[in-house]
């Protein structure tokens, strides 16, 4: 009866968390793009077909597709939310550009910067940008302003863009060595968020050749917003460094207990292989997109992908596996001293006894705790809104591969080294020395610093508030991981130049 009551309470907590999650999640993240109806492969097909409007396709191309997240644009929308409301902001058309598929086409022998075509496709399948890149040194015949205006009008109409939405265009020119490039800019009649800002669409010409169209946004506060988000960039570096620091700290008690005969390495080796194997698979799934923003002067775009794979394998994947190895070894030894019963489910799992009642109960508690914490976190983020906290929708979107479900599962495994270090090592040691209340508090504070947060929030300090209570909730698929120790977190939102290109 007692066990039945406990299971019922866990089920009730999970159901309550799921209900809160369904209600609070879209309200906490009003700028989540939707409807999401186009996968990565479908976006690539749409882009390659529409890029034919700009020229002949590249023979045997190297195509890179990734989910481009515009964190600065989302922050602009957040700051204007109370003033304009979600309906007014959607009228500008900007929320659909918070996240979109970016498709870049290279010749096989091209360097990273020498792409030929680029397209941006919204998650609902609308083409937001088509670009053709010509060599800056290539010569081109001039085009008159009148001819550029007429061709731009016709091209935008052919792309399904309503010119009645925009005001009279203006021309901007750029003088290159062998030609003059033009941009015919159309300003949207609906004002964007931010005083003094303007936005619209522009048609580009390289000499007299049509080079595509793209959105533009001029914001006098652009540099100020970029400085605000420098901390998020450093946070990514800090997460990678923490793998090395934690592994170094745990190596000392591991060596001591190993030489004393208290620690075995068989299960630790299995954990290492699990973490390393899942990390390598995740890295291979995302290698092209992970390496898109990196460049090595000696390497072609295709070679850059493999250079990044080797680099991240050596400097992040293997250290993460070692952290998991040390954390399990030390944590298992510490827990068996006083909390041996809490490892019963792990023991049955390692022995392959998946029908064990202990495993079933632990799995149920884990899933229900994950749902409860995910719902609680969504509710917390929504409740913090009046205090100025804004979670970033860009940070909870899945990654760039064609297998998003597998990528989310591998991302959850990528967090295993951190959780083993915090839950198996730090928590029992802190409780033993400080008592239960103080030990749990210290563990939560450490988790806020060490664990990748389930969502990033602005201003920067609120990100740690979101991280502290997230120990169990990352087992829920409702909040996919945004950071992996296996790789530089390319799935994190970055300041995007997509809104200001021409």
Query: Is residue 57 located within the same domain as residue 14?
Result: no
Rounded distance, CA 293 to CA 467, Å? 27
Classify the C-alpha dihedral 458-463-466-470 as positive or negative: positive
Angle at 413 between CA 411 and CA 419, to 5 degrees: 110
Which stretches within 36-183 are classed as H helix?
40-50, 71-79, 81-91, 145-158
**498 in a domain, yes or no?**
no
Query: Is residue 217 located within the same domain as residue 339?
Result: no
Query: Is residue 361 located within the same domain as residue 252?
Result: yes
Contact 216, 198 (CB under 8 A): no
Query: Is residue 239 located within the same domain as residue 299?
Result: yes
Rounded distance, CA 219 to CA 200, Å? 12
Query: Is residue 60 located within the same domain as residue 173?
Result: yes
Query: Is residue 237 located within the same domain as residue 148?
Result: no
Query: Is residue 188 located within the same domain as residue 262?
Result: no
**27 in a domain, yes or no?**
no
**410 in a domain, yes or no?**
yes
Domain boundary among 193, 222, 251: 222
Which letter, b or e, does each residue of 227-266 get, where b requires 16 or more Cβ atoms within 10 Å of its Cβ? ebbeebeebbeebbebbbebbeebbebbeeebeeebbeee
Domain boundary among 202, 222, 242: 222
DSSP string, 199-264: EEEEEEEETTEEEEEEEEEE-TTHHHHHHHTHHHHHHHHHHHHHHHHHHHHHHHHHHHHHHTT---
Which letter, b or e, does each residue of 339-371 get, where b requires 16 or more Cβ atoms within 10 Å of its Cβ? eeeebebbebbeeeeeebeebebbeebebbbbb
Contact 188, 199 (CB under 8 A): yes
**CA 261 from centre of chain:** 43
Cis peptide before 306 (omega within 30 of 0): no
* pTM for this entry: 0.85
Rounded distance, CA 213 to CA 206, Å? 12
**30 in a domain, yes or no?**
no
**28 in a domain, yes or no?**
no
- 183: helix, strand or coil: strand
Query: Is residue 186 located within the same domain as residue 49?
Result: yes
DSSP string, 376-416: HHHHHHHHTGGGT-EE-GGGGS--SSS-HHHHHHHHHHHTH
Query: Is residue 251 located within the same domain as residue 398?
Result: yes
Query: Is residue 135 located within the same domain as residue 279?
Result: no
| Predicted pLDDT of residue 2 | 60
| Predicted pLDDT of residue 472 | 44
| Predicted pLDDT of residue 263 | 84
Could you say which residues of the chain have pLDDT below 50? 1, 471-502
Query: Is residue 133 located within the same domain as residue 183?
Result: yes
Range(s) of the domain holding residue 482: 2-22+229-492
Per-residue pLDDT of 465-494, as tens digits, reads 766 555 444 333 333 333 333 333 334 444
Per-residue pLDDT of 116-151, as tens digits, reads 999 999 999 999 999 999 998 899 899 999 999 999
**351 in a domain, yes or no?**
yes
DSSP string, 313-365: IIIIIHHHHHHHHHHHHHHHHHHHHH-GGGGHHHHHHHTT-TT-HHHHHHHHH
**50 in a domain, yes or no?**
yes
Residue given tokens 């023979």 in the structure block:
59
Rounded distance, CA 147 to CA 170, Å? 13
**72 in a domain, yes or no?**
yes
| Predicted pLDDT of residue 261 | 83
Query: Is residue 180 located within the same domain as residue 269?
Result: no
Q: Which of 225, 216, 226, 220 is nearest to 499 (CA)?
A: 216
Rounded distance, CA 295 to CA 308, Å? 10
| Predicted pLDDT of residue 322 | 94
Cis peptide before 184 (omega within 30 of 0): no
Q: What separation, in Å, do the N-terminal and C-terminal C-alpha atoms of the chain show?
A: 69
| Predicted pLDDT of residue 481 | 32
Rounded distance, CA 363 to CA 108, Å? 48
How many domains are contained in the chain?
Answer: 2
Domain boundary among 174, 196, 222: 222
């Amino acid at each position: 009866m007692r066990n039945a009551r406990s299971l019922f309470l866990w089920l009730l907590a999970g159901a309550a968390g799921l209900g809160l999650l369904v209600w609070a999640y879209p309200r906490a993240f009003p700028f989540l793009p939707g409807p999401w109806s186009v996968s990565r492969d479908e976006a690539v097909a749409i882009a390659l077909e529409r890029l034919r409007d700009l020229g002949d396709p590249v023979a045997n191309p190297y195509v890179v597709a990734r989910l481009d997240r515009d964190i600065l644009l989302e922050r602009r929308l957040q700051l204007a939310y109370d003033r304009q409301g979600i309906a007014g902001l959607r009228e500008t058309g900007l929320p659909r550009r918070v996240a979109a598929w970016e498709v870049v086409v290279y010749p096989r022998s091209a360097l990273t910067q020498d792409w030929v075509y680029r397209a941006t496709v919204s998650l609902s399948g609308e083409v937001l940008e088509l670009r053709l890149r010509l060599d800056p040194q290539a010569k081109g015949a001039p085009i008159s302003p009148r001819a550029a205006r007429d061709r731009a009008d016709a091209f935008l109409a052919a792309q399904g863009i309503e010119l009645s939405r925009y005001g009279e265009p203006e021309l901007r020119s750029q003088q290159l060595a062998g030609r003059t490039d033009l941009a015919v800019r159309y300003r949207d009649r609906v004002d964007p968020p931010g005083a003094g800002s303007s936005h619209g669409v522009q048609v580009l010409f390289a000499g007299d050749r049509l080079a595509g169209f793209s959105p533009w946004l001029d914001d006098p506060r652009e540099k100020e917003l970029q400085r605000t988000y420098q901390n998020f960039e450093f946070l990514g570096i800090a997460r990678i460094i923490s793998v090395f620091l934690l592994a170094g700290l745990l190596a000392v008690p591991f060596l001591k207990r190993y030489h004393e005969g208290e620690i075995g390495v068989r299960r630790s080796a299995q954990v290492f292989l699990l973490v390393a194997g899942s990390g390598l698979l995740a890295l291979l799934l995302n290698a092209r997109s992970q390496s898109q923003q990196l460049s090595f002067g000696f390497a072609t775009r295709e070679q850059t992908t493999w250079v990044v794979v080797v680099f991240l394998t050596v400097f992040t994947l293997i250290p993460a596996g070692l952290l998991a190895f040390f954390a399990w070894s030390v944590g298992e030894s510490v827990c068996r001293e006083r909390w041996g019963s809490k490892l019963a489910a792990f023991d049955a799992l390692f022995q392959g006894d998946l029908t064990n009642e202990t495993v079933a109960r632990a799995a149920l508690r884990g899933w229900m705790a994950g749902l409860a914490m995910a719902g609680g976190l969504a509710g917390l983020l929504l409740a913090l809104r009046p205090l100025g906290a804004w979670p970033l929708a860009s940070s909870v979107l899945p990654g760039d591969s064609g297998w998003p479900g597998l990528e989310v599962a591998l991302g959850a495994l990528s967090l295993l080294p951190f959780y083993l270090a915090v839950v198996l090592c730090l928590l029992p040691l802190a409780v033993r020395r400080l008592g239960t209340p103080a030990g749990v508090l210290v563990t939560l504070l450490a988790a806020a610093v060490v664990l990748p947060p389930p969502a990033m929030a602005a201003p920067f300090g609120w990100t740690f508030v979101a991280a502290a209570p997230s120990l169990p909730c990352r087992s829920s698929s409702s909040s996919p991981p945004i950071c992996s120790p296996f790789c530089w977190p390319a799935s994190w939102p970055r300041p995007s130049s997509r809104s200001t290109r021409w």
